[in-house]
Chains A and B, each alone.
Chain A
Amino acid sequence: ETGVTQTPRHLVMGMTNKKSLKCEQHLGHNAMYWYKQSAKKPLELMFVYSLEERVENNSVPSRFSPECPNSSHLFLHLHTLQPEDSALYLCASSQITGSGWNTEAFFGQGTRLTVV
């Protein structure tokens, strides 16, 4: 496996379900991200983890709960979602250098989430 891998690719869930999205990066990067992509809107940053510590949480509702057990894996736990949460959820990774520079982000293929 190379790059950034996301599973599942597609997910349909009811509003009362609990599910998790998984992301794995094989690039040796030390920062991982969750983005939400809705039609005709720019990518919205949800969460950032750097060295397994959450460094950004952009006012995301608590029904989205991230987890980063190590620098290669990132999860997004979902519960009690709303239909407006239907979107493409993208995971990305990048490398933060010792001098604080951040390289370009590499993205996974995304999970197309539909909440019914």
Chain B
Amino acid sequence: EDQVTQSPEALRLQEGESSSLNCSYTVSGLRGLFWYRQDPGKGPEFLFTLYSAGEEKEKERLKATLTKKESFLHITAPKPEDSAPYLCAVRPASGTYKYIFGTGTRLKVLA
């Protein structure tokens, strides 16, 4: 069964304290892994797409990496404005329209 698991559920960091969020997946053929940020009361905001193991993408303090079993979202020197839930989703080869989402990691960065 296709599945996405995100860990930890919640993460509290001090400003400037780098860390990583994990997204583990089990799918029948990966056609893309996606990271989103979702601020309270808003829709998910697209961050990155990764397609193959070894691929990396960067944007400001965020860097996403992908292996055959998991993806990491690395946050370097985070700031309070980085606080938000972060969602991971995968698209399996079995479904053109299917995105399987994890339950997210709630990140809180303290000043």
Q: Which residues of A come within 8 Å of B, CB atoms? A: 4, 6, 31, 33, 40-43, 45, 48, 50, 55-56, 90, 92, 96, 100-110, 112
Contacts and interface: CB of A to CB of B under 8 A. Distances in A.
Given A42-B4, A96-B96, A101-B31, A107 B44 contact: yes
A55 B97 CA distance: 9
Interface string B34-49: 1010000111111001
B91 A42 contact: no
A34 B74 CA distance: 30
B46 A104 contact: yes
Given A43-B101, A102-B31, A102-B91, A107 B96 contact: no
19 contacts: A6-B43, A31-B97, A41-B103, A42-B102, A42-B103, A43-B44, A43-B101, A45-B98, A55-B97, A90-B44, A96-B96, A102-B31, A102-B32, A104-B46, A105-B34, A107-B45, A108-B43, A110-B42, A110-B43
Given A40-B103, A42-B102, A42-B103, A102 B96 contact: yes
Contacts of B34: 104-105
Contacts of A92: 43
A92 B4 CA distance: 20
B43 A50 contact: no
Contacts of A100: 96
B97 A104 contact: no
Contacts of A41: 103
A104 B49 contact: yes
A105 B38 CA distance: 14
A4 B44 CA distance: 11
Contacts of A33: 97
Interchain residue pairs A-B with the least CB separation, the first 3: A107-B43, A42-B101, A43-B101
